[in-house]
């Protein structure tokens, strides 16, 4: 096994360090409070690696028990696991990425039991037009689902399904499994119906506030940490323009994909702004989605991603999914991938944290 023991000792030796800092939900469960406080400390010790849909499928395989493309390459699972709930709102059996929701429930439990971290995104359908999350044909969607709007009742039905799913996430001892929930993401862009040019800043904030209040106070869900997650931005002002409030947001994050030579500079700027703001606000910073041209730039993991993020204190970086039948679209390496050697270096670097290390930290205690 690689490195570590230092982070674990720090967590064990200084349990009081973040003891008074709580997540935003005053009724957050004990395990959720522990996760929050441990993430607050952990972000100064290392950078966890995350992968979207790591366990249900990977390049060339679907539903193989215990398999993970990341594990096939470096011998260890990620520390953070991303899940997607798009189409849950329709009452479908499987997600828009063809993963069965009952499987996702099982995977979330597996991850929790091995001491890993689950984060959920939701590319839910456009409630006004019936189109996909990418249907940006109307600027009225967000207003239409707020209280008083013509689609408010439909939105409540969506949220009720979401709430049922969240409330089904329990471990064997009956405790709710804490989850990092990241809705309405990449809103500094305009490709989702909740994006910047599709609604006013006030309506975006109102949507967030209504949603958190409904899940937390009406549905009594107290095992979620909420993530505010932009796409690329240039300034602090731009980052916080649609920030819905310190009283409902636990993680400050951003999504940023490598789309060219300016990526390291943009990443440096975004990571600097977010990590500084998170430290000032006693919140957790993260890079909630990324991906790079790893087949061409085979040293992308160490030379681009890690070297750029090294100076910053962020809790995790998550790369997007590896579609089962589209090797060129994989954002993580898989067995035999040209970036595998470099990914192993990335794995062995003292800065990065994977499952084995996180498991030793007891982050839910
Ligand atoms: C996008 C792509 C889509 C996917 C969606 C939701 O970035 O990966 O194929 O359906 O995310 O997970």
- Match 């939105």 to its residue by tokens: 155
CA 83, 86, 89 angle in degrees (round to 5)?
125
Distance, CA of 189 to chain centre: 18
Residues 200 and 242 sit within 8 Å (Cβ to Cβ):
no
Catalytic residue annotation:
186, 289
pTM: 0.96
Above 50 in pLDDT, residue 337? Answer: yes
- Is a pLDDT exceeding 80 seen at residue 17? no
Give the mean model confidence (pLDDT) for residues 81-86: 98
Alpha carbon distance 174, 124 (integer Å): 29
How far does the centroid of ligand 1 lie from the alpha carbon of residue 324, in Å? 13
Atom of ligand 1 nearest to the CA of 86: 6
The pLDDT tens digits for 34-71 are 999 999 999 999 999 999 999 999 999 999 999 999 99
The pLDDT of residue 16 is 46
Other beta carbons less than 10 A from residue 5's beta carbon: 10
Mean pLDDT across 118-126: 98
For the chain, which domains are there?
30-359 (3.20.20.80)
What proportion of the chain, given as a percentage, has pLDDT over 90?
A: 95
For residue 123 and ligand 1, the question of a CB distance below 6 A is answered with yes
* Atom nearest to 84 CA in ligand 1: 12
Overall average pLDDT of the 321-330 stretch:
98
Q: Is the pLDDT of residue 10 over 60?
A: no
- As a whole number of angstroms, the distance between CA 163 and CA 61 comes to 31
- Which residue has its alpha carbon closest to ligand 1 atom 8? 321
- Kindly report which listed range (9-18, 76-85, 152-161, 174-183) carries the lowest average pLDDT score: 9-18
Q: Whose CA is nearest to atom 4 of ligand 1?
A: 97
- How far, in Å, is the centroid of ligand 1 from the Cα of 85? 11
Distance CA 186, CA 134 (A): 12
* Ligand 1 neighbourhood includes 87 CB (under 6 angstroms): no
The CB of 97 under 6 Å from ligand 1? The reply is yes
Indicate whether residue 185 lines ligand 1 (CB < 6 A). no
**Is the CB–ligand 1 distance for residue 349 below 6 Å?**
no
Closest CA to 315 of 96, 18, 53: 18
8 A C-beta contact, residue 263 and residue 230: no
pLDDT digits (tens, 9 = 90+) for 196-205: 999 999 999 9
Q: Ligand 1 pocket, 84 CB below 6 A? A: yes
Question: In degrees to the nearest 10, what's the CA dihedral of 37, 39, 42, 47?
Answer: -170
Kindly state if the Cβ of 140 falls inside 6 Å of ligand 1.
Answer: no
Asked whether the beta carbons of 319 and 291 are under 8 A apart, the reply is: yes
Q: Could you report the per-residue pLDDT of 250-284, keeping only the tens digit for each?
A: 999 999 999 999 999 999 999 999 999 999 999 99
CA distance 293 to 296: 6
289 CA: nearest ligand 1 atom:
7
Distance from Cα 123 to the centre of ligand 1, integer Å: 8
pLDDT band per the 50, 70, 90 thresholds, residue 8: low
Confidence class for position 315, pLDDT limits 50, 70, 90: very high
Neighbours of 19 (CB within 10 A): 10
- pLDDT > 70: percent of the chain: 95
Ligand 1 center from residue 191 Cα (angstroms): 12
3-state secondary structure of 322: coil
Q: Which two tokens stand for residue 185?
A: 């993401």
Give the atom of ligand 1 at the shortest distance from the alpha carbon of 123.
Answer: 6
Q: Which two tokens stand for residue 327?
A: 């090797």
Which residue owns the Cα nearest ligand 1 atom 10? 97
320-340 average pLDDT score: 98
- Ligand 1 atom with the smallest distance to the CA of 321 is 8
pLDDT band of residue 20 (cuts 50, 70, 90) is confident
Q: Which two tokens stand for residue 195?
A: 């994006």
Joined together, the tokens standing for residue 93 give: 């059996």
d(CA 311, CA 102): 40
Mean pLDDT of all residues belonging to the chain: 96
The pairing of beta strand 61-62 with beta strand 57-58:
antiparallel
């Amino acid at each position: 096994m690689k490195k570590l023991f230092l982070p674990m000792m720090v967590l064990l030796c200084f349990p009081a360090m973040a003891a008074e800092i709580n997540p935003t939900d005053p009724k957050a469960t004990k395990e959720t409070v522990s996760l929050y406080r441990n993430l607050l400390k952990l972000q100064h010790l290392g950078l966890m690696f995350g992968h979207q849909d790591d366990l249900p499928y990977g390049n060339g395989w679907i539903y193989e028990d215990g398999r993970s493309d990341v594990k096939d390459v470096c011998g260890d699972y990620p520390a953070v696991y991303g899940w997607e709930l798009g189409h849950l709102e329709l009452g479908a059996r499987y997600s828009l990425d063809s993963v069965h929701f009952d499987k996702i429930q099982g995977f979330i439990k597996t991850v929790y039991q091995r001491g890993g971290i689950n984060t959920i995104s939701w590319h839910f359908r456009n409630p006004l037009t019936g189109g996909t999350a990418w249907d940006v044909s109307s600027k009225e969607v967000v207003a239409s689902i707020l209280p008083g709007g013509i689609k408010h009742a439909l939105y409540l039905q969506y949220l009720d399904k979401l709430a049922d799913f969240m409330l089904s996430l329990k471990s064997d001892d009956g405790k709710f499994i804490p989850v990092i929930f990241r809705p309405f993401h990449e809103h500094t862009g305009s490709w989702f119906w909740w994006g910047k040019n599709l609604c006013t800043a006030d309506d975006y904030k109102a949507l967030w506030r209504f949603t958190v209040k409904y899940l937390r106070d009406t549905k009594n869900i107290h095992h979620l940490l909420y993530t505010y997650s932009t796409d690329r931005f240039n300034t602090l002002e731009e980052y916080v323009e649609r920030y819905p409030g310190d009283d409902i947001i636990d993680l400050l994050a951003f999504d940023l994909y490598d789309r060219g030579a300016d990526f390291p500079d943009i990443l440096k700027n975004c990571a600097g702004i977010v990590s500084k703001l998170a430290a000032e606000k006693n919140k957790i910073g993260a890079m909630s989605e990324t991906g790079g041209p790893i087949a061409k730039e085979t040293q992308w993991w160490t030379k681009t991603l890690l070297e750029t993020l090294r100076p910053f204190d962020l809790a995790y970086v998550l790369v997007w999914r590896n579609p089962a039948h589209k090797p060129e679209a994989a954002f993580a390496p898989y067995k035999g991938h040209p970036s595998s050697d470099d990914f192993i270096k990335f794995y062995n670097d003292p800065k990065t944290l994977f499952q084995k290390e996180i498991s030793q930290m007891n982050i839910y205690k």
